Amino acid sequence: MANKTAVQATINGEDVEFLCEPHQSLLEVLRDVLRLTGTKEGCNNGNCGACNVILDGVLVNSCLVLGVEAQGKRITTIEGIAPPHGLHPLQQKFLEHAALQCGICTPGFIISAKALLDHNPHPSEHEVRHWLAGNLCRCTGYDKIVRAVLDAADVMAVEVSK
Q: Return d(Cα 108, Cα 78) in angstroms, integer.
A: 8
From the CB of 47, what's the least distance to another protein, in Å?
A: 4
Distances 28 to 22, 59, 149, 152, 157 between C-alpha atoms, Å: 11, 17, 28, 30, 35
Select the residue interacting with another protein from 18, 38, 114, 151 (CB under 8 A): 38
How many CA atoms lie less than 13 Å away from 33 in the CB half-sphere?
A: 20
Of residues 115-154, those binding another protein (CB under 8 A): 115-116, 125, 128-147
- CB neighbour burial string for 120-133, b if at least 16 within 10 angstroms, e if fewer: eeebeeeebeebbe
From the CB of 43, what's the least distance to another protein, in Å?
A: 4
From the CB of 157, what's the least distance to another protein, in Å?
A: 20
Q: Which string of x and - marks every residue 89-118 that binds another protein (by CB under 8 A)? A: -xx--xxxxx-xxxxxxxx--x-x--xx--
Q: Return d(Cα 101, Cα 1) in angstroms, integer.
A: 41
- Is position 34 an interface residue for another protein (rule: CB under 8 A)? no
From the CB of 68, what's the least distance to another protein, in Å?
A: 5
- Is position 82 an interface residue for another protein (rule: CB under 8 A)? yes
- Is position 39 an interface residue for another protein (rule: CB under 8 A)? yes
